[in-house]
Structure 1
Amino acid sequence: MASMDKKIMTITTDLVIRELNQYGITNKLEQAHFLAQADHESAGFTKLSEGTKYRFGRAKAIWFSRKSAIQAKQDELKAKDDDFCPQPWLFNTVYGGRMGNEKNGTNDNDGFDYRGGGIFQLTGTDNHLAFMNWLHKSGKYLDLALDKVDEFVKSEEGAIISAIWFWQVNSIGIAARADNVTKVSVAINGGTIGLEERQKLTEKYKKELGV
């Protein structure tokens, strides 16, 4: 499993658009929404792995459903809200036991290993497995095994293709072509975190693509 955060500076909008066209996403408005979400999720196409440094205060706000567990760990460590949560404990706590993680036990680090990756921050064993199966059915990367998918989605090509798979399998293009940033954001992120920036980025890319 890849365990280090990876950064890459070579993903460009032209490269993303080329891949979008190749996979049949040719509508300019839809492309603008895709680019905006990818830009936001990957910090301007520079971050292809979810960062591991979360402060207790922020972690409790982001993973509200796991707030009690995070608070218990904070109390145990006598930590402050500004202190960083320990890893891999945090991701195993907030991602473990769901999204297909930890089906073989509770100490296998699935939550940490299958944390967000790629320009859409693909998360969870189920998503990684479904993406791999989609690739295989398409006759691509037939030798790619599940325990290597997390590395692939953090590569330049895998980062983009995994995002396209997620976009298509969840029919996000419908909301994008309706120009509904909120619905697109919820489909990508599961909520409206960063909605204002996502809206600004959408307008930016709409202008760039002449929409």
Structure 2
Amino acid sequence: MSTSPDVPVQAAHAPVDPAHPAEPHRRIRALYTERTVTVYQAYSPALGVPAARDGRFPAAWKRERMTWIKPSFLWMMYRCGWGTKADQETVLAVEIGRDGFDWALGNACLSHFDADEHADRGVWRRELKRSPARVQWDPERDLWLRALPYRSLQLGLAGEASRRYADEWTLGITDVTPLAQEVRALVRAGETAAAAALLPEERPYPAPEGTPGLGRVS
């Protein structure tokens, strides 16, 4: 039975990404400059279109709710189905200040209990309750949105972090839905080299000391 190339495939062994043949198990990969880092989110057109048009999140964007940002473009494509899932039709590239991004990482807690990071579940629950950000490590994806054998960051922002993300850290918002559609079309046509050439240049990000799940940062 044939499968669509943009549908996740469950394989006996995770595929190897030739662009990253020797990746550590967890790493932040992102498009970034000296001042900014780009993260991705997907919204309904009612929210996404005015956000991209005005370069900031509209008043309708709920600042009291947790929001998840993803530095990995392909992980975002996996999450939103290349912008085809309901209420995720508008894919946004949000450029935020690195100082804000690093603040969130430095004030984050893992979204799940990890005995290597926490003395016990009670300690983790107390830390989770008071932390304005949450770190989650999810399998990175290849062009076919299959899971790779290493993980990338998903960062949840709540309370103070969510408000600061929307109103202080965000420096620009771009609608990259056309890019998502173009990459998907090239993958479906078997033109993987051309598709890969369009991807954002995501490099290892110098995470601050103490980023949850990374251990000691050299």
Shorter-chain TM-score bucket reads under 0.3
Higher relative contact order (CA 8 A, sep 6+): 2
Structure 2-normalised TM-score?
Answer: 0.25
Structure 1-normalised TM-score?
Answer: 0.26
Name the one with the larger helix percent: 1
